[in-house]
Structure 1
């Protein structure tokens, strides 16, 4: 199907970079900040509260979104996108508000450390620490710690997938379900061939190969670390015994094929997987085009997945498994 006309207008309005121009990180961060949805255009939610997760030598900022209704609420831990180098609690505020309203989950957004100031695995460690804290303290938020789902978009989807693998490797059953929104799943370096055809077909539809390669360079100290399964979840030796997963991909996204390949492999290795490709959309559509019907379709799919029976965590509070992972 042809790309959505609203997205086409947006792409045509973007400045065309000079040949060979590689934007500096400061330039990317400035553009990202400028594209944040103004507060007055964000959907209302019952309550929003900024908090800090205390760690031994520092803290992690989180933002808690509470929908209308009576708790304890199921919990959804959310990791924002931005190529591991961009984004914060404000840039993805719209997505979290819509998730809270549509799913009736209490959404907890994590302001993890960014590269290159804090390269891999700093962001992953923050996200895992946030999960452990929420599992032990969810009742303080009027939440149900036996029903914690985690998810994220783009780089945040990478972090969510990696956190699930890390929790499994540490034999901790804290996650009920995982939601991966057009996720980064595999390392890419400019100049190298890739098996994912979408990297070539949709290079001019928002997220480019050059930009993705730049993000990976900032995130990893050395390209060789891209082989680590916590950096590239699809390269994990095993994807067994992981939480049920929803993968949402966009038709015009360079990351489409790797996300769909990951869904296929999860299914092949026994994980309950639900995949939905949103037609006519490009990378990042849930944030920039949250009012389009295609975005509403995606949010409905997420809410349906989160609220369907099954997948509750079965671990004790010390993190040890007490039964089979659902």
Structure 2
């Protein structure tokens, strides 16, 4: 069987989502042993080392970027820091599947923000899909309900931060190396966590905790590698929907590792978010194909 570029890209994206979700699992398992910022800081040291080696080997340690691009790179790094804080705080205090389900709203928020702030086209079909998707998020969060978990708001704030991060990337020059951007983001997250550690109690690490931090570092690095590779292989419109694999993995791990059984409304809300997200990606793909064929017809 011959693998096409799209199939390779889908496999890489699936691997990336699996790796990122396993990383989340290690971090959640640490939540009752090691403080949040200490965990982020220790993991960050390993991530920075690995990304630096990768960037050097791929010749992407090019620091000669314009002031504008450096400004955007730093803003993206700060957005990454805020997203990491909000998401991991939510992850430490709510079911992993619920936190992951809220994060699946990203394609919807990025599309909406792109239309509002970057002037990108947004048809009525995708706008309706986005609004329905937000209803799905409300079913997961359930504000005001008896089962409402305030940390769900943290997960929503992490989506807002990641949306800002992705919008900033769209404004960068395409010549800016992707690994350089990831490395600067990792440095921002690690330095921010290190500063926060100065005002918190440092906990001595036991053998299991050290192994879990090591595992989180390895899997998040593989997540970076696979996600970068996935974006370079195959059509993005074909590969991007495989991001939703992370929700399936989170559901399985949440039940198998933490004994978490999602509520029916959470599953319904997650289904709505995924369905509307897939529709949004499908419409974007069709519009991109239409834009490509129109010039050909004119010629």
TM more than 0.5: no
* Alignment TM-score, normalising by the size of structure 1: 0.28
Higher strand share: 1
TM-score, with structure 2 as normaliser: 0.30
**Greater RCO structure (CA 8 Å; 6+ sep):** 2
